[in-house]
Chains A and B, each alone.
Chain A
Amino acid sequence: MEEISLQGIAASNGIAIGPAYCFVPAKLSIPVRTRESAEQEMTRFGPALGRAKRELQELHDSLAQRTGEKEAAIFEAHQMMLEDPTLAEKVREAVDAGQIIEQAVVTATNGLAAMLEAMADPLFAARAADVKDVGARVLRILLGLPDLTLGNLKEPSIVIAHDLTPSDTASLDPDLTLGFCTEAGGLTSHSAILARTLGIPAIVALGEDLIRRVPTGTQLVLDGETGKLFVSASDQTVRQYQRTRDEREIHRMQIRAHASEPAHTSNGRRVEVGANIGDAASARDALANGAEGVGLLRTEFLYLDQVQPPSEESQLGIYEEIFKVIGQRPLIVRTLDIGGDKPPSYLPFPQEMNPFLGWRAIRISLDRTDLFKTQLRAILRAAVGYQVRIMFPMVSDLDELRRARHLVDEVKVELSHEKLAFADNVPVGIMVETPAAAVLVDVLSEAADFFSLGTNDLTQYTLAVDRGNATVSALYQPLHPSVLRLIQQTIQLAHARGKWVGMCGELAGMAKAIPILLGLGLDEFSMNPRAIPEAKHLIRQLDDGQARKIADYALGLKTATEIDTYMQETLKNL
């Protein structure tokens, strides 16, 4: 067999080498038949439920014995869902509306899954996959098809499947599963998340004919970093990837070993690498990964999913908890950054055609000074004894910034009248995320102590591309020359006035961007905690002169594609 290579979405890092095991449960389709009376249809539901419960009990017992009660708990949850009176009600409703029982089970479970999917908390939303899984089990039983599990795996293999459900993955033995590849799915699908949790290499979205092309036993090489799958891999490919696997393992150990040391360029310039966090747990994660501070503390979580705005005291407690974890390291708190795309229930939002250009972030804070001042009071009070800075989101001109600063001063006067302790010398800066702010950094320097580039929104607003819109999301290019020019201009204008510039957008942790940003003179990089060890490693490999040359060259290029290709080459040659 000739070696072929397939490209999917890299879902979980690592290299796996071994034989394929095709996991193909029978296709479940709803039969075409005439509906009997509602009572007649319903008589089949009870026995199917009973059978499903027995299956789940068996799965539970065998998994509990093999790996433990904790792992098996998922099947208990499934059993409870089967016994749920709401499920039975919804099935009955669908049957009464004229559906056959097979269809009714799917309608009911999909409807319930959709309700869970709509929930803001990912913990709850993840349960949607379980409901669908339960629905599929009952449907399979109604169709009279046997249950097929991954527990049948006998030798170490790479699992090939259309997609994996929670009950499939629960029966999967991590010691025998070298990796897995699915036809469907995305980065956030159940199987991708599970692969990352278990540390098993995985590729998803490999396309609909994967199972047909890869029979059980085929020699495979799976690269979870690039999303490449080699089918009928040649001896040469296998040897090459065995080497790469060993090298990467050594590399990972090395960068982790140095993660907690400060980052210097190879000629000795100190660069601050911080983390973007949202709560005390992520603060601890940040420190474990070597963060030297926090470049962005998001505060939206305090406001969303509440029936009323958070009180000063409740905010104070939450800030204090986070500040305590970070200790004497610098920490930047971003004030309320919400908008009409995710409106909290207690804020009456106008109907907006375009919430991203609407009432959001600093605009809300300046209109609802009651909310804003409460937040400022809580931050200033919690900041006593810590290196806290305050940052306003979405500022687009000096008037806004002046008004916001004025409110900070007002709050300080009030706090001292009330004889409450607060931090008096907290630096105040802004996010640079509108093109207007980037162009006006010299003017804004009058009232801003520092700047932090929010490249996600800056890219979106500069290119006029909504990255959540799948039709145009390919046009969202953070390495676009226009965005890079605005970044360059921001840094130059700020430095000329003695102000420092950080970055807390995704670009700051992206290997392709780091050399350019270093060359442009960025002072602080703040990113997802997990990206820190690799970013520090990259910074240490570069010297300032070399980084400046890379930046100059990249800014001379004409399109995002050219810049992307150039940076890929540059990284290879480092």
Chain B
Amino acid sequence: MVEAKIIVKHKVGLHARPAAAFVQTASKFTSQITVKNLTRVGDPVNAKSILSVLTLGVLQNHEIQLNAEGPDEQKAVESLRELVLNNFGESE
């Protein structure tokens, strides 16, 4: 199992396009991936489910925790981490 904690810097948080990009990236992997919002109370949810990710209510500067388990767990967490750290590929 691979774990990572990241702060979401994007101004809308995990909503709209960033949420979509996050889920699309997660869906490329076969590992089970969960994401949890550490800034709010709540349980980890399936990172491949857009609806579940939205219910986390991740806003700008919230910290999230990723967990992946499966054959490509290392690669999955790395890709998602990179996506978030690169501000979902947006320049701002």
> Which residues 94-141 in A have Cβ within 8 Å of B in the complex?
112, 115-116, 119-121, 123-124, 127, 131
Q: What string of 1s and 0s marks CB contacts (under 8 Å) between B38-58 and chain A?
A: 111100001011111011010
Q: How far is the CA of A76 from the CA of B41 in the complex (A)?
A: 29
> Which residues 35-83 in A have Cβ within 8 Å of B in the complex?
73, 76-77, 80-81, 83
Q: Is the CB of B54 within 8 A of A116?
A: yes
User: Hey, which chain B residues are within 8 Å of A87, CB to CB?
Assistant: 49, 51
Interface size on A, residues (CB 8 A): 24
> Which residues 9-37 in B have Cβ within 8 Å of A in the complex?
12, 15-17, 20, 23-24, 27
Does A84 sit at the interface, judged by CB under 8 A?
Answer: yes
Q: Is the CB of B52 within 8 A of A86?
A: yes
In the assembled complex, the CB of B66 is this many whole angstroms from the nearest CB of chain A, namely 17
Which residue in B12, B40, B49 is a CB contact (below 8 Å) of A84?
Answer: B49
Does A306 sit at the interface, judged by CB under 8 A?
Answer: yes
Does A26 sit at the interface, judged by CB under 8 A?
Answer: no
Does B59 sit at the interface, judged by CB under 8 A?
Answer: yes
Assuming the A-B contacts A86-B49, A119-B57, A123-B12, are A306 and B40 also in contact, with contact meaning beta carbons closer than 8 angstroms in the complex?
yes
Q: How far is the CA of A493 from the CA of B70 in the complex (A)?
A: 72
In the assembled complex, the CB of A83 is this many whole angstroms from the nearest CB of chain B, namely 8
Interface size on B, residues (CB 8 A): 22
Which residue in A76, A124, A306, A345 is a CB contact (below 8 Å) of B15?
Answer: A124
Q: Is the CB of A84 within 8 A of B50?
A: yes
In the assembled complex, the CB of A117 is this many whole angstroms from the nearest CB of chain B, namely 11
The CB with the most chain A CB atoms within 10 A, among B23, B24, B39, B49, is that of: B49
Q: Is the CB of B40 within 8 A of A124?
A: no
User: Hey, which chain A residues are within 8 Å of B51, CB to CB?
Assistant: 81, 84, 86-87, 112, 115-116, 131
Q: Is the CB of B23 within 8 A of A305?
A: no
Q: Is the CB of A80 within 8 A of B15?
A: no
In the assembled complex, the CB of B8 is this many whole angstroms from the nearest CB of chain A, namely 14
Q: Is the CB of B55 within 8 A of A119?
A: yes
User: Hey, which chain B residues are within 8 Å of A73, CB to CB?
Assistant: 16-17
The CB with the most chain B CB atoms within 10 A, among A86, A112, A131, is that of: A86
User: Hey, which chain A residues are within 8 Å of B54, CB to CB?
Assistant: 116, 124, 127
Which residue in B23, B46, B49, B57 is a CB contact (below 8 Å) of A121?
Answer: B57
User: Hey, which chain A residues are within 8 Å of B16, CB to CB?
Assistant: 73, 77
> Which residues 359-393 in A have Cβ within 8 Å of B in the complex?
none
Q: How far is the CA of A345 from the CA of B40 in the complex (A)?
A: 9
In the assembled complex, the CB of B1 is this many whole angstroms from the nearest CB of chain A, namely 20
A interface secondary structure, majority? helix
Q: How far is the CA of A76 from the CA of B24 in the complex (A)?
A: 12
Does A85 sit at the interface, judged by CB under 8 A?
Answer: yes
User: Hey, which chain B residues are within 8 Å of A77, CB to CB?
Assistant: 16, 20, 50
Q: What string of 1s and 0s marks CB contacts (under 8 Å) between A284-322 and chain B?
A: 000000000000000000000111000000000000000
Q: Is the CB of B46 within 8 A of A306?
A: no
Q: Is the CB of A120 within 8 A of B57?
A: yes
User: Hey, which chain B residues are within 8 Å of A115, CB to CB?
Assistant: 51, 55
User: Hey, which chain B residues are within 8 Å of A120, CB to CB?
Assistant: 57
In the assembled complex, the CB of B90 is this many whole angstroms from the nearest CB of chain A, namely 13
Q: Is the CB of A85 within 8 A of B46?
A: yes
Q: What string of 1s and 0s marks CB contacts (under 8 Å) between A235-266 and chain B?
A: 00000000000000000000000000000000
Q: How far is the CA of A127 from the CA of B51 in the complex (A)?
A: 9
Q: Is the CB of B40 within 8 A of A305?
A: yes
CB closest chain-A residue, reference B52: A86
Assuming the A-B contacts A86-B46, A123-B12, are A307 and B52 also in contact, with contact meaning beta carbons closer than 8 angstroms in the complex?
no
User: Hey, which chain B residues are within 8 Å of A127, CB to CB?
Assistant: 54
Q: Is the CB of A85 within 8 A of B20?
A: no
The CB with the most chain A CB atoms within 10 A, among B12, B24, B38, B55, is that of: B55
User: Hey, which chain A residues are within 8 Å of B52, CB to CB?
Assistant: 84, 86
Which residue in B15, B17, B38, B49 is a CB contact (below 8 Å) of A85?
Answer: B49
Q: Is the CB of A345 within 8 A of B41?
A: yes
In the assembled complex, the CB of A347 is this many whole angstroms from the nearest CB of chain B, namely 13
CB closest chain-B residue, reference A76: B20
User: Hey, which chain B residues are within 8 Å of A116, CB to CB?
Assistant: 51, 54-55
User: Hey, which chain A residues are within 8 Å of B17, CB to CB?
Assistant: 73
CB closest chain-A residue, reference B45: A86
Assuming the A-B contacts A123-B15, A306-B39, A306-B40, are A80 and B23 also in contact, with contact meaning beta carbons closer than 8 angstroms in the complex?
yes
CB closest chain-B residue, reference A113: B51
Q: Is the CB of B41 within 8 A of A80?
A: no
CB closest chain-B residue, reference A74: B16
User: Hey, which chain B residues are within 8 Å of A85, CB to CB?
Assistant: 46, 48-49
In the assembled complex, the CB of A120 is this many whole angstroms from the nearest CB of chain B, namely 7
In the assembled complex, the CB of A542 is this many whole angstroms from the nearest CB of chain B, namely 43
CB closest chain-B residue, reference A121: B57
Q: How far is the CA of A127 from the CA of B14 in the complex (A)?
A: 13
Q: How far is the CA of A86 from the CA of B45 in the complex (A)?
A: 10
Q: How far is the CA of A115 from the CA of B42 in the complex (A)?
A: 13
Extra A-B contacts (5), CB below 8 Å, given A73-B16, A115-B51, A127-B54: A77-B20, A80-B23, A84-B49, A124-B55, A307-B40
Residue contacts A-B, CB under 8 angstroms, 14 given: A73-B17, A76-B20, A77-B20, A80-B20, A84-B49, A84-B50, A84-B51, A84-B52, A119-B57, A123-B12, A123-B15, A124-B55, A306-B40, A345-B41
Footprint of B on A, CB under 8 Å? 73, 76-77, 80-81, 83-87, 112, 115-116, 119-121, 123-124, 127, 131, 305-307, 345
8 nearest interchain CB pairs?
A86-B49, A80-B50, A84-B49, A345-B41, A84-B51, A112-B51, A86-B52, A86-B51
